[in-house]
Every structure is written in structure tokens, then in C-alpha cells.
Structure 1
Amino acid sequence: MSGEFHALHQDGLLLLPNAWDFASAAALVDEGFAAIGTTSLGVAAAHGEPDGEGRTRAQTVELARRLVDLPRPISVDVETGFGDPAGIAEELAELGVAGINLEDGLGDPGHQQELIAEVKRRAPGLFLNARTDTYWLGQPSLSDTIDRAQRYAAAGADGVFVPGMSAADDIRALVDAVGVPVNILFQPGHRIEELAALGVRRVSMGSLLYRAALHSAVTTARAVRDGSPVPSGVPGYSAVQDYVVGGRRRGSGGFQ
């Protein structure tokens, strides 16, 4: 699956939805998405933990172990690496995961280069998507972003991810400055075809689907409580069972 995942970044734009459990991933496979990512917020929140604090390594690995049964490449968000970026990368690669997201936490970019190089040494087949939070944390700097992206690409990163970057001129400048696929986080107002025209190779949905699921759950519960119509389109019990059972039949009559 790793080679297939790499190839998905080379021709056109990969729209990557992010799941938080097996059923959500299987449903997205059934919808026809070419690859599935995970959302660290969704995984953490579903287990009662905060995101970004490195508390969900075990849960992340267990989810990955289940998701590789699906007939799609799987990319896993490992936050900043749970204190052992190369170790977690190697463990996930051995499970059959196709790629990882690795954040820099806005630490020293030189140190992050060393971590990236070690990850690629121990798990060379993984698609390593190197994330920097220069825009996500509210102090956007195009020059700092480009510097970090170039450093990470030079260290062996297969792609760079800049969540929060949305201005067309900034995106175009980043694409022109690095020689690896650029990943952008979908935000309201984005149009996929416009991002593709700017040279973006991957658009991730991040925690959007998980947050939308929470919203839908509360909206539905409120409708039942208030005697309002329940939203239409909710999958039935058997449909969810089919997602789970069908998703486990990799290569033997399940999702194709």
C-alpha cells in the first residue's frame, strides 16, 4: 500500500478524509475515497484525552492495527511522535501503514530535520508528511514556513503539511519553493479545484468529520428531545454492521 499511497500524490490532488475509528474509516472506503487518514483530535477525544499531548500512542497503534485490514492506504497522525518518532514510525510500517503525519511542534527545525532523517532511515517506505504549525498557531510567517519545509524535504520528508495556510499567494509560493507534495488542510471557503490549480497535491479534512459527527449526534438528540423531525439520511443498524463486516474482508469479497 505504501507505493500506491506515494503514487496518489503524483498525479492530481489527493482528497484525504480523516477517520477516528474503524467504522468511520470503513464508511469512507465504501464512499470510494482512495486513501484514509486518521485525526489525532478524533482519536484522542474519543478516548477522553486532549489532543497534542502525546497520551494516545497505544490507542493510535491499536486503531492502525485495525485500519490496515481495509483495502486502502492508511496514513496515521502521530502528533509529534509520542516521544519516539522513529520508533512509532517503524512500528506502524511493520503493521502495513502507508504514511504518517509528524508535527514539529514549532521546535527547533534543525532538530526536526534529524528526527525526520532517523524516521526515514528506520521506515524508508513510509510516506512521511512533515507538518509545521507556523500558520496553525496564529503567527503565520511565509519565510519561516518555506525555510522549515525546505529543511524537512532535504532531510527526507516525502511531503509537507501546513495547516492553516489558506491565501492563494502563500500556497503558490510554498509549492514553488519545495520539491515535494504540499498538503493543505481544508477550510471553509476552499475549493478543491482551485487548490489543485495552485499545485497542491493533498487536501486533508483533519478533525472536520469528527466534529461534524459530534454536531450531528447532538442535533439528532435535541430533535428527539424536542419532538422535531430527526435528520434524514442516518444509516441504519444493518448498514453500520455492513461497514464493519465488509471492511474486514480485505481482498475476499469486501470493499473493492
Structure 2
Amino acid sequence: MDASISVTQAEKAHKFRDLHYRDEAFLLPNPWDVGSAMLLAHMGFEALATTSAGHAFTLGLADNTVPRELVMEHVAALSTATPLPVSCDLGNGFGDEPEIAGEAIRLVASAGAVGGSIEDATGRVDDPIYPIELAVERVRAAAEAARSLDFPFMLTARAENYLNGRPDLGDTIRRLQAFQEAGADVLYAPGIVSEEDIRAVVSSVDRPVNVLIGLPGLKLNRGRLSELGVKRLSTGSALARTSIGALLRAARELRDDGTFGFMAEASSSSNIATLLKS
């Protein structure tokens, strides 16, 4: 994949928007660095999204602890690594106040992204989810910032109940509906895995819905999720964690057994180099 191919941000933005309105759900894998982004682009994926957790792991940090300036540098690097559209996992937008969420959208767009997500999780264990009124104001501020751009920035609003021990479908749907009214382009409730819950979410809104794949309990494939009306399937940190899992298994074999069987599954250096140059 030749990153030197001239594709403007506006062209990427229009492509990314159009992907959300096809009949079949499109796959949105989440690379964690430039190399993984380039490899995914070579594999034929049509768009990419960052993973806050995967990026944090590359820096030896926990999720949602990476400073904003480093996130923007990461987005800029991924946005120029391939000709593909890039959306950014912005967590809670780096602050509680609505204006900070709006600023995060403007900054990530300046870094080259054509989409981004704002979630209603606070990052605080004792108070994990914003009150719905504040959560809506945060999405509204982000939507206003997105609409001020000169290209169609796809704003995703995330309802984080299920990832924070609050599997309340009714509240989750109320939040997604309110986020839709506040201007979100895509709606996302990571952690919903049952066909019944996914169907309920999709039927309750009239915006494209993203489903997080790679979670325990999600047994549905791309075809069935498309039949349910889901428009986008993202991997979150699953690919990064899969890579780390392979590293840990290989390291345990090396340390504990003194054997090298893990090499059987390794790609050759020449093959990786060829993929990165293609």
C-alpha cells in the first residue's frame, strides 16, 4: 500500500461516510501503530480506527491514560501511513466539560482523522458514567465542532454502560436516542452481544450502529449482524491483545521450556517487508 498516493482528507471523509450506508456492515479494524495500520491496509480493509487501549499498550500505559498530545501525534502518524480513512477513539474527549469534547474533535480533525468517538464513561471507578444530561451536552458540543469542519466528519457517540458493569438496555437505548438527537452520526454501545439486544438497539435509532466484535459471548458473524441492520463492525483492542497474547505465549515457552516451537507461526521478515512496501 503506497501511502504516497494523494488522497485528500475530504476524499477520505466522503468515502468513510459512504461506507456507513451500504447494505452490508463494513469492517473497521483497529491498528495500534503505523506498521499494523499498513499491514491492515494491504489486507484490503477500507478504513481504520485507532484503539486507545492498543495505543496505550505500545507506550507501556493503561487505557485512557495517554496524554492528549501523544494521541494526536498517533492519529497524525496513522492518517499519513496509508490512503485509508482513519477514525479516532477519543475516550471521554480528555475532560468532563462539553467544550473540551468539542476541542478534541477539532484537534483530531486537524491531525488528519475523518471520524472520532466520544463516550459517556468518566474513567472514574466510583462514578463511571456521566449523568445523561451532561453526556448529551458533551455529544452536542462534539457535533457542533464536527459540523464546523469543511468535510463530513463522522461523529460516533458511545454509551458505555455494558463495559462498566451496568447492563441496562433501557438506559443504554435512551442514551443512544438522546445522542442521536444531539447530532451524533453513528451510535455505539460496546459490550452488547446478544442478538436480541443488538436488534433492540438498531431498531430504536435511525443512525448507523457500530458493534464491537471480539468480545466473549458475541456469536454472530458479519452476515447475521448485517441482517440485523448493523452498519459497522470494529475490533477495539482485540487485534492488539491478540498480538500481545502471541508474544506472551512465545515468551513463556522460551522461558519455561527452552523450546522454540512458537517460530512455526511467525511470519518471515521478508514477507513482512514485502507487505509493508506493497
Q: How many residues were matched structurally?
A: 245
Residues 1:241 and 1:63: Cα distance change in structure 2 (over 3 Å): farther
Question: What's the CA shift string for 1:176-217, capped at 9, x where partnerless?
Answer: 110101111112423221111111111111111111111111
Answer yes or no: is the 8 Å Cα contact 1:104–1:132 preserved in 2. Answer: yes
Residues 1:232 and 1:33: Cα distance change in structure 2 (over 3 Å): farther
Which residue matches 2:105? 89
Residue 237 (structure 2) pairs with residue 207 (structure 1): yes
Which residue matches 1:121? 144
Which residue matches 1:72? 84
Give the whole-Å Cα distance in 2 for the aligned partners of 1:157 and 1:118: 10
- What amino acid sits opposite 1:161 in the alignment? Y
Deviation, 1:29, is: 0.6
Which residue matches 1:25? 37
Answer yes or no: is the 8 Å Cα contact 2:73–2:111 preserved in 1. Answer: no
Deviation, 1:224, is: 4.0
Q: How does 1:12-161 map to 2 (within 5 A)?
A: 12-53=24-65, 55-69=66-80, 70-83=82-95, 84-105=100-121, 106-124=129-147, 125-161=152-188
Q: Unaligned stretches of 5+ in structure 2?
A: 1-11, 122-128
Answer yes or no: is the 8 Å Cα contact 1:23–1:240 preserved in 2. Answer: no
Residue 199 (structure 2) pairs with residue 172 (structure 1): yes
- What amino acid sits opposite 2:175 in the alignment? R
Deviation, 1:152, is: 0.3
- What amino acid sits opposite 2:206 in the alignment? G
Tell me, what secondary structure is at the counterpart of 2:155?
strand
Answer yes or no: is the 8 Å Cα contact 1:85–1:119 preserved in 2. Answer: yes
Give the whole-Å Cα distance in 2 for the aligned partners of 1:25 and 1:236: 18
Which residue matches 1:235? 267
Give the whole-Å Cα distance in 2 for the aligned partners of 1:163 and 1:149: 12
- Percent identity, please: 33
RMSD: 1.7
Tell me, what secondary structure is at the counterpart of 2:137?
helix
Q: Unaligned stretches of 5+ in structure 1?
A: 247-253
Structure 2 length-normalised TM = 0.83
Question: What's the CA shift string for 1:3-55, capped at 9, x where partnerless?
Answer: 111111110201111111100111111111111111111111221222134x3
- What amino acid sits opposite 1:196 in the alignment? S
Answer yes or no: is the 8 Å Cα contact 2:155–2:185 preserved in 1. Answer: yes
- What amino acid sits opposite 1:92 in the alignment? V
Give the whole-Å Cα distance in 2 for the aligned partners of 1:206 and 1:164: 11
109-118 or 165-174: bigger deviation: 109-118
Tell me, what secondary structure is at the counterpart of 1:136?
helix
Answer yes or no: is the 8 Å Cα contact 1:44–1:56 preserved in 2. Answer: no
- What amino acid sits opposite 1:208 in the alignment? A
- What amino acid sits opposite 2:134 in the alignment? H
Give the whole-Å Cα distance in 1 for the aligned partners of 2:56 and 2:145: 26
Deviation, 1:134, is: 1.4
Give the whole-Å Cα distance in 2 for the aligned partners of 1:127 and 1:206: 17
